[in-house]
Amino acid sequence: MIVVLKHGVSDEKKAQLIAWLEALGLKIHISNGEFQTVLGLIGDTTSVDIDLVESLEIVDSVKRVTEPFKCCNRKFHPDDMIVEIGDVKVGGGNFVMIAGPCSVESEEQIVAVAKAVKAAGAKMMRGGAFKPRTSPYDFAGLKATGLEYLKIARQETGLPIVTELMNIMDLPLFEDVDVIQVGARNMQNFDLLRELGRMNKPILLKRGLANTLKELLMSAEYIMANGNERVMLCERGIRTFSDYTRNTLDLAAVPMLHQLTHLPIIVDPSHATGIAKLVPPMAMAATAGGADGLIIEVHNDPIHALCDGAQSLRPEEFAELADKIRAIRGVIA
Ligand code: PEP
Ligand code: MN
């Protein structure tokens, strides 16, 4: 249930109402917007007398929220969420390009790519140290050493690190990581999500291979209901009957999610297509469609990449794309 307060209500009256609602056993989420204050009531609201609340002098309107997701529901937070990672802002009109290799392969590689993508305008770098691979015989990442190389690249460039955590046991190694990525295959690892909810760190939550938008939002809810509100969602393509692309980029998910939630939406055209040539057109389409950012795989030597070389752009290709993205932002922003 949400309670919209009238404009200009005093803090004292607001506090009295909140205390009364809390006494009914409800958790109250307060969203102080520019134009209105919205109280989101979380819990069993059956004992709340809607007519009584609506009749209060300070209340503008009361609505029941039927969706099962509450913390990430736009009805609870009419304003866009802006996630801050150091100086970098994502959402609410702040667009971010995240770029880097699929996997961290060596110190030289990640430092070189980080410098190149920074020069092209990326504001954060990506790079997997713990890699989920379909085959147990494939390169699964440099693990703790990879995280150390990412930190060296951050020191050299100042770019915050976005990297995937696969297992709760590895969490202590991620203390000094800037954004923790939850990969598609872990989108419904509920224990992991709960644990991330207890952290004070931004999370990039990727949509599962065959998950609906509601399921994605319920996974965000797991993180947020445990206290961590700094969640960014990522559309990275889903399984369909497409035969020539790795996945199908669900671009309609971007405006749909913007309606449903206030969280920033990032698009990953690399995993969505699996083909480097298709990355620029899909990145541009996602930008035009209202994404708050892009996460793009860039490798200095794609042919010899240990993972996902076929979908990786070369640094110069990324730089060319970044120019086009800025041009599109200039038109739509
Ligand atoms: C990745 O970003 O490298 C990755 C493994 O992505 P996804 O979880 O979307 O497959
Ligand atoms: Mn990859």
pTM of the model: 0.96
User: Is 128 close to ligand 1, i.e. is its CB under 6 Å away?
Assistant: yes
- Which pLDDT score is estimated for 32? 87
Ligand 1 mutation pick, 135, 188, 236, max ligand atoms within 8 A of CB: 236
Token reading at 94: 């702040």
Q: Is 207 in the pocket of ligand 1 (CB under 6 A)?
A: no
Going from the C-alpha of 277 to that of each of 249, 256, 282, 306, 309, the distances in angstroms are: 14, 27, 10, 19, 12
Given the CA of residue 184, which atom of ligand 1 is nearest to it? 8
328 CA to middle of ligand 2, Å?
25
Please report the pLDDT score of residue 36 as a whole number.
85
- CA dist., res. 204 & res. 202, Å (int): 7
CB burial class (10 A; 0-12, 13-18, 19+) of residue 171? middle
Which domains are present in the chain? 2-63 (3.30.70.1140), 83-332 (3.20.20.70)
Element (H, E) at 155: helix 144-157
Please give the Cα distance from 309 to 30 (Å, whole number): 46
Specify whether the CB–CB gap between 161 and 136 falls below 8 A: no
Backbone angles phi, psi at 175, to 5 degrees: -50, -40
Task: Give 261 Cα–ligand 1 centroid separation in angstroms.
Answer: 22
pLDDT in tens, 194-226: 999 999 999 999 999 999 999 999 999 999 999
| Residues within 5 Å of ion ligand 2, judged at the Cβ atom | 102, 308
Q: Where would I find the beta strands (DSSP E) of the chain?
A: 2-5, 27-32, 37-42, 59-63, 83-85, 88-90, 96-100, 124-126, 161-164, 179-182, 203-206, 231-235, 265-267, 293-297
Closest ligand to Cα 181: 1
Task: Give the ligand 1 atom nearest the CA of 236.
Answer: 9
The verdict on the CB of residue 239 being under 6 Å from ligand 1 is: no
Residue 100 beta carbon below 6 angstroms from any ligand 1 atom: no
Give the pLDDT of residue 34: 79
Read off the pLDDT of residues 308-324 as tens digits, 9 standing for 90 and up: 999 999 999 999 999 99
- The reported pLDDT for the residue numbered 265 is 99
Distance (angstroms) between ligand 1 centre and the Cα of 185 equals 8
Neighbouring residues of 194: CB distance < 8 A, sequence distance ≥ 6 = 222, 223, 226
Is the beta carbon of 183 within 6 A of some atom in ligand 1? Answer: yes
Which amino acid makes up residue 180? Answer: I
Share of the chain above pLDDT 70, in %: 100
Q: Is 308 left (phi over 0), alpha (psi -120 to 50) or beta?
A: left
Please give the C-alpha separations between residue 48 and each of 33, 42, 285, in angstroms, as whole numbers: 24, 12, 45
Q: Tell me, what's the pLDDT at 106? A: 98
Residues in Cβ contact with 97 at an 8 Å cutoff, skipping those fewer than 6 apart: 117, 120, 121, 122, 123, 124, 293, 294, 296, 322, 325
Q: Is the CB of 236 under 6 A from ligand 1?
A: yes
* pLDDT at res. 259: 98
Q: Whose CA is nearest to atom 10 of ligand 1?
A: 184
**HSE (side-chain half, CA atoms, 13 Å) at 319:** 12
152-211 residue pLDDT tens? 999 999 999 999 999 999 999 999 999 999 999 999 999 999 999 999 999 999 999 999
